[in-house]
Amino acid sequence: MSAITIKLLTFHKLIVYIKFMKYIDLELHAPSPVFTRQDLLLMGLKVHDAQLSQWVRKGYLVRLKNGIYAFARDMDQLRAEHVAFLLYQPSYLSLESALSHYGFIPETVYARTSVTAKTTRAFDTPVGRFIYRHVKSGLFWGYAEHQAGGGTFLLAEPEKALLDYLYLNQAAVRSQADFDALRLNRDQLRLHLDREKFVRYLDGFATPNIKHWAMQCLP
């Protein structure tokens, strides 16, 4: 083997080593299990899009959306609530997801549903489907911050979740039969709803149709 060939092989190994070290650096410093490009920039990690794409192809990373990644090794640690918050901001979990969380409805919810002040969107990811429904900025309130799996997410308060649902589903709840079909759990409503807060929040929705059904939700 010639000296030139040996030098070329050594150089090739060095390049591979450098790339591997960059991935190791990512593993050591990037938030786990999920991180964004903005996270990397804030930590001074200069990672090119081509590198991230390569690590996705190799199975090291999973792309949840452009600019948002998860470590493949940590997929079992992902919390859908945190992913929902990261995918589309500003947003907070509400509607069917929050109603199910509080036990207001009996159905198991498979898609994560959120409210956003931005355009209505939906994302299909390796960890599930995420739906974001638009409300005007004047109704973007009534949520609290929570922690899950080391990440933050926002969840509608019980009162706001119920009102968000009635507001965004006015076309589907037009009769007593439609309302009864929601099969709201009266015991859980009694447990979670603050009557005074619910009525106060209801005043923010200037829609008589909502008030008619909302008052039936009070225990």
**Model confidence at 122, in pLDDT bands (50, 70, 90)?**
very high
Output the pTM of the full model: 0.85
16-61: pLDDT as tens digits: 433 444 788 888 888 889 999 888 888 888 888 889 999 999 999 9
Beta bridge partners of 71: 61
Residue 26: domain span: 3-77
| Dihedral sign (CA 71, 65, 58, 9) | negative
Whether the pLDDT of residue 198 is over 80: the answer is: yes
- Of 47, 77, 107, the domain-final residue: 77
- Helix or strand run (H / E) with residue 11: helix 3-29
Q: Is 149 in the same domain as 173?
A: yes
Q: Which string of DSSP letters, residue by residue, matches 143-174?
A: EEEEEETTEEEEEE-HHHHHHHHHHHTTTT--
Q: How many domains does the chain have?
A: 2
54-89: pLDDT as tens digits: 999 999 999 999 999 999 999 998 899 999 999 999
| C-alpha dist (Å) from residue 68 to 61, 83, 102, 107, 178 | 10, 9, 29, 30, 39
Structure tokens at 194: 């603050």
Q: Which stretch of 59-63, 113-117, 146-150 has the lowest confidence by average pLDDT?
A: 146-150
Q: Is 46 in the same domain as 126?
A: no
Cβ atoms of 210 and 201 closer than 8 Å = no
